[in-house]
Structure 1
Amino acid sequence: MSTSAKDWLERIRALPLPPRIRVMNVCGGHERSISMAGLRRALPASIELIPGPGCPVCVCPEEDIYQAIQLALQEDVVLVAFGDMLRVPVNTPKDTVRSLEQARAAGADIRPIASPLEAVRIAREAAPRRVVFFVAGFETTCAPVAGMIAEGLPENLLLLMSGRLTWPAVQLLLDSEDPGFDALIAPGHVSTVMGPEEWSFVVEKHGLPAAVAGFTPESLLAATYSVLRQHIEQRPFLDNCYSQAVKPGGNALARRLLSETMDIVEAPWRGIGHIAASGLELKPDYATHNARKVLPDYAEPTRRRAGEMPPGCDCARVVLGKITPTQCRIYGQPCTPRNPVGPCMVSDEGACHIWWTSGQRKDEAA
């Protein structure tokens, strides 16, 4: 019989906990489960659950979104993107088009999709007109895109790649003087694709406890219990608390397709800067489907604040776990899911959006 969430909570409360221990979760899906299940309130006060850099919409480079907007407005193309990307604002004057959603309202042919297969279908239906698929996401998004590429793309389908690997951002934090956390809950979906070994550096290089978790309260609490015991016993190791889906080596086919179709490159993260070996770009063999190679570059060197967060927005510090969403200067006023200022309030994987929709307001304790 599986252990219930109540049992895991009792086990955690029975531990000889330190006065303070900070546990970072990397995945936006984890943060959503934690917040919606009320796990922060259920756990002892000495345990701080910190949302980390697990929202692809939040870290998608502002300049990539700007490029997508300009392609949709100025080229005769259909632009498709995952739904959350349409509402992310860029740093341009308020009297200009600032998001894909606004570009669509201005007449651009922009269509939200939920699957790469929809991009293929739209391209076939629109032929010979070009279709640009704005690919923003982590390994779990890029793996099916790699499969789509391997199967063969329609001639008129171009990819504007903005793919990212998850672990380099955690590596960046751990290499800094103040990582801000004492243990890691590693992402389940990413580990399903890439394998749990992707996170072994947390233990082997930095000596911190780590556990892969699924998305139920039971799995998240099991992983939390594991890293707490590791911390208390000073015996860090990589635990797999999502063995139903995460297997050693991950998904061999997905990893092979990623390596065959995409190169790992240095890449910018919005508000954070460039991170080595963190981006996914099409291999040269697929240059005829690379929107950056085929279509004009609308980057404007004169644009101010390109790549940064909007004025007053602390999304970058939220993404890096340096502050909680409620500590952002504009959280709730003026930034809300209805009128998002920063990208963390747009996506349902963004910590600010999750905290707001789960009822956490400025006047509550973090």
Structure 2
Amino acid sequence: MSVSASEWLQRIHAMALPRTVKIMNVCGGHERSISMAGLRAALPANIELIPGPGCPVCVCPEEDVYCAIQLALRERVMLVAFGDMLRVPVNAPKSEARSLEQARATGADIRPIATPMEAVRIARANRDVPVVFFAAGFETTSAPVAAMLIEGVPGNLYVLLSGRLTWPAVAMLLDSGTPGFDALIAPGHVSTIMGPEEWQFVVDKHGLPAAVAGFTPESLLAATYSVLRQIQEQRYFLDNCYAEVAHPDGNPTARQQLADAFDVIDAPWRGVGTIPASGFALKPAYAAHDARRRFPIHGDDARKRAGEMPLGCDCAKVVLGKIRPNECFLFGRACTPQHPIGPCMVSDEGACRIWWASGIRESNKMAMS
């Protein structure tokens, strides 16, 4: 018999917790469900839900976005990208295009897509034009890109890959010694691909409770109750509260396709720095479709040094769970969904955009305790 959200809340409110407990959720979809369902207000005051590094648009390196813009403007190509990427701003003079959307407005052939197969269809329909697929995303997005390559693509389709793995960012936070959270709610969709056991290191290496959750209030509250009970009983383990979808070993086919198409490399995260073994790169077998090999990469060391968040933007701290979204001075002032300064205000998975959509519209500079 399933447990309702109200029943989970009753169980949580009945718990005697010894202190404030900070729980990080590592998924933009989780953050959206938490905010839209009003779970923060429904939970006891001594339970703090912290949004973490769960937005691939937010952490996509600024130099990769800049490269995509310049390829579209300077080369005779058609560029396609997932819709959210078109509005991500880069650090550039006002006289230049600061986003793919702005580059498109100046005449560059840039098209939003929703799936990799759309990129294949566009390339087949335009065989006389090189088509560059700017593919940014985590495991759940990267797996279909890998499948696309393995199944075969037109000779005029090139991939500008900016894929990332989720767990290394959490490992980096935990290894820092000051992670800022006491328990983890692990992402259900990533666990569906990679397997829930990918998060076992949180328990085994760092001695923190963890639970995989789905996207309904019931699943999120079940995971919240699980990690709180683990803290209360001082008995830590990885709990799968999304067992109907996230199965042991995940999706073996998708995992194999990722391994066959991509190498795992050290990779930069915007505003965070390079995280070991956190990125995907095309294997040599797919070099003929690698945009980084086919076209000049318009950037230099100065661009990499500039590849952080814009001046005054605290998106990196938001991504790492160091501050709440509305604790950025720009939130709701200079930075809004209509005029985003930082990437966290762009994507539907960005914590700042989610908090704005849930009704929080003003900056609050109060520091996190």
The alignment's TM-score, normalised by the length of structure 2, stands at 0.98
SS of 1:355's equivalent?
helix
Amino acid at match of 1:117: M
What is the deviation of 1:232? 1.0
What is the deviation of 1:177? 2.4
Q: Say what the alpha-carbon RMSD is for the aligned residues.
A: 1.1
Structure 2: distance between partners of 1:179 and 1:303: 29
What is the deviation of 1:253? 0.2
Aligned to 2:271: 271
**8 Å CA contact 2:186, 2:210 repeated in 1:** yes
Amino acid at match of 1:71: L
Aligned to 1:112: 112
Structure 2: distance between partners of 1:303 and 1:227: 42
**8 Å CA contact 2:328, 2:363 repeated in 1:** no
Aligned to 2:215: 215
Aligned to 1:57: 57
Aligned to 1:293: 293
Aligned to 1:356: 356
SS of 1:347's equivalent?
coil
Q: How many residues align?
A: 366
Aligned to 1:175: 175
Q: Percent identity?
A: 70
**8 Å CA contact 2:91, 2:306 repeated in 1:** yes
What is the deviation of 1:305? 4.6
**8 Å CA contact 1:185, 1:210 repeated in 2:** yes
Aligned to 1:41: 41
- The residue correspondences of 1:98-177 to structure 2 (distance < 5 A) are 98-177=98-177
1:222–1:141: structure 2 CA closer, same or farther, 3 Å change rule?
same
Unaligned ranges ≥5, structure 1? none
Q: Greater shift after overlay, 39-48 or 86-95?
A: 86-95
Aligned to 2:196: 196
The alignment's TM-score, normalised by the length of structure 1, stands at 0.98
**8 Å CA contact 2:138, 2:165 repeated in 1:** yes
**8 Å CA contact 1:327, 1:362 repeated in 2:** no
Structure 2: distance between partners of 1:227 and 1:154: 48
What is the deviation of 1:95? 1.4
List structure 1 runs of 4+ shifted beyond 4 angstroms: 363-366
What is the deviation of 1:134? 0.3
**8 Å CA contact 1:345, 1:353 repeated in 2:** yes
Structure 2: distance between partners of 1:300 and 1:348: 31
- The residue correspondences of 1:297-316 to structure 2 (distance < 5 A) are 297-303=297-303, 305-316=305-316
**8 Å CA contact 2:332, 2:363 repeated in 1:** no
Unaligned ranges ≥5, structure 2? none
Aligned to 1:25: 25
Structure 2: distance between partners of 1:325 and 1:361: 10
SS of 2:301's equivalent?
coil
Structure 1: distance between partners of 2:45 and 2:145: 42
Aligned to 1:237: 237
Aligned to 2:342: 342
